[in-house]
Amino acid sequence: MNKHKKDNKEEKKEEQAQEESIEQEEIKKAVEEDQADNKEGKATRKPTTEEKLVVMTDLLKRTTADFHNFRDRIAREATESAYYYKKNIITSLLPVLDMFELALKHKSEDNEFTKGMEMIFAQFISTLENEGLQIIKTEDKFNPELHEAILTEESDKVDNTILEELQRGYMLNNKVIRYARVKVSKSKEAWVKMTKPLSQRTDETVQVSKNSK
């Protein structure tokens, strides 16, 4: 009988151990499911109103900047196209201006016809100036960015002083479309060197080279 009681106690202990093991497994499983639910909740959490506002504000700023850049590029391209279109037209009219100037420069007498031509020429120039045409001045010293030296002449003036305008030059919106062709001065010393025969200038160069050695 004592042996039977002892067996019952052992069975109860084993059952109790099994029950505790089952409870621990259930608790562990519940904890894991709770953690999984927390992770899933974080992954599927909807953004708050403030977060949406930040995203939309940033998108609006970037879109506005892109629009301003696009607008500036279109305006710049339109300005450049208008300039080249105008340049082509005015450049084609420059020979007409040259003929007007040549005719008025060699006019034989002042009569009504000549005065009418002068008025037409003045109006023609004024119209082109309103479109951005500028006459290049040739009263100062030679400037390679504005002038083209066609002839040189011995003079007592400082070298590269403009002596005569041979063909008028023009700019359009501060950009040269035709250089002014001019005659410039050379000092007597520079003129002598330029007018010497090539053989003499070569001999001088050889002599200078020997002396330098």
Question: Can you tell me the distance from the alpha carbon of 12 to that of 167, in angstroms, rounded to the nearest whole number?
Answer: 125
Question: Can you tell me the distance from the alpha carbon of 130 to that of 123, in angstroms, rounded to the nearest whole number?
Answer: 11
Segment 113-127 mean pLDDT: 89
- Residues 54-57: contacts with CB under 8 Å, at least 24 apart: none
pLDDT tens digits, one per residue of 14-58: 666 666 666 667 666 666 666 665 555 555 567 788 877 888 888
CATH topology of domain 135-198: Nucleotide Exchange Factor Grpe; Chain A, domain 2 (2.30.22)
Nearest to 114 by CA among 127, 125, 100: 100
Residue bearing the bigger pLDDT, 73 or 50? 73
Residues 144, 128: contact at Cβ < 8 Å? no
What does pLDDT average to over the chain? 78
pLDDT tens digits, one per residue of 198-210: 444 444 433 333 4
Of 46-55, 85-94, 128-137, 155-164, minimum mean pLDDT range: 46-55
Question: Can you tell me the distance from the alpha carbon of 54 to that of 161, in angstroms, rounded to the nearest whole number?
Answer: 67
Question: For the chain, what are the domain ranges?
Answer: 60-131, 135-198
